Structure 1
Amino acid sequence: MHTDQPQNIGPDALPEVITRYLDAHRVRDTATARSAFHPGASVTDDGKTHRGSPAIETWLTRAAGEYTYTTELTGVQKVGTDHYVATHHLEGDFPGGMVDLHYRFTLSDGLIENLVIEP
């Protein structure tokens, strides 16, 4: 059972690998974003799970070109040793035009093992 209480932290307290992914994803740098993930990692976004490097690369490429939007990091929490949540406010030409998304990271061996993106 997961009993750790979320702890608000500053963006500069995020592990380098998460910052690398977020920065690369923001500027649509697929290769750098992919390098932050474990080879067997999984990403769940929009209710769909993508497992392994090829599937994550396809997801990153699709996500980069599907909509035009701006993103602002609005909050960061540490939830246990290898669990972090980064909250982003997005505005753009996607359905609804505006959303706050929680990027829930699980790390292993210094890389992202699992990422769940949800409102």
Structure 2
Amino acid sequence: MNLPKVVTDLIDAQNTFDSVAYANCFSETGIMCDEGKDFEGRSAIRHFIEEANKKYQSTMKPLDYTESGNSGILSAECSGTFPGSPLILKFHFKIDDGQIQYLKVTG
């Protein structure tokens, strides 16, 4: 599967529970939508992922990736200590200049 470098970096950061590296995949003004909430900017994203890592210890196994222009959708099997684990989730990306501008996680 051919993934953009920033998506590979995001998966690696998630699987090593590195919230700083995860947040650094985003632009300074990047937005992440997860668990029904929006997190704007690297600091907010880092804080959210740090807390989620403590609670859920979630890892990602990429299954499929499709892209169109600067948008892409990653399907990944996510496993952790959350109800229903493992789940297949979709990660909807907008990527510009090698950084994530927008990411929405859906079921």
Check the 8 A contact 2:71/2:92 in 1, yes or no: yes
- Structure 1 residues 68 and 32: alpha-carbon distance in aligned structure 2, compared to 1, 3 A threshold: closer
Answer with 1 or 2: which has the greater Rg: 1
Question: Is 1:22 the counterpart of 2:7 in the alignment?
Answer: no
Residue equivalent to 1:7: none
- Structure 1 residues 19 and 51: alpha-carbon distance in aligned structure 2, compared to 1, 3 A threshold: same
Aligned match for 1:58, one of 41, 47, 61: 47
Tell me the TM-score normalised to structure 1 length: 0.82
How far apart are 1:58 and its partner, in Å?
0.7
Question: Is 1:109 the counterpart of 2:84 in the alignment?
Answer: no
Q: RMSD in angstroms over aligned alpha carbons?
A: 1.4
How far apart are 1:69 and its partner, in Å?
4.1
In structure 2, runs of 5+ residues without a counterpart are none
Give the share of equivalent positions with the same residue, in percent: 25
Distance 2:79 2:102 in 1: 25
Residue equivalent to 1:41: 30
Deviations 1:63-104 (A, max 9, x none): 2111134432111111x1111111111233212233110011
Distance 1:32 1:69 in 2: 15
How far apart are 1:25 and its partner, in Å?
1.2
Distance 2:79 2:20 in 1: 24
Instruction: Say which SS state the counterpart of residue 82 (structure 2) adopts.
Output: coil
How far apart are 1:51 and its partner, in Å?
0.5
Moved over 4 A (4+): none
Distance 1:61 1:70 in 2: 13
Instruction: Say which SS state the counterpart of residue 96 (structure 1) adopts.
Output: coil
Instruction: Say which SS state the counterpart of residue 42 (structure 1) adopts.
Output: strand
Tell me the TM-score normalised to structure 2 length: 0.90
Instruction: Say which SS state the counterpart of residue 61 (structure 1) adopts.
Output: helix
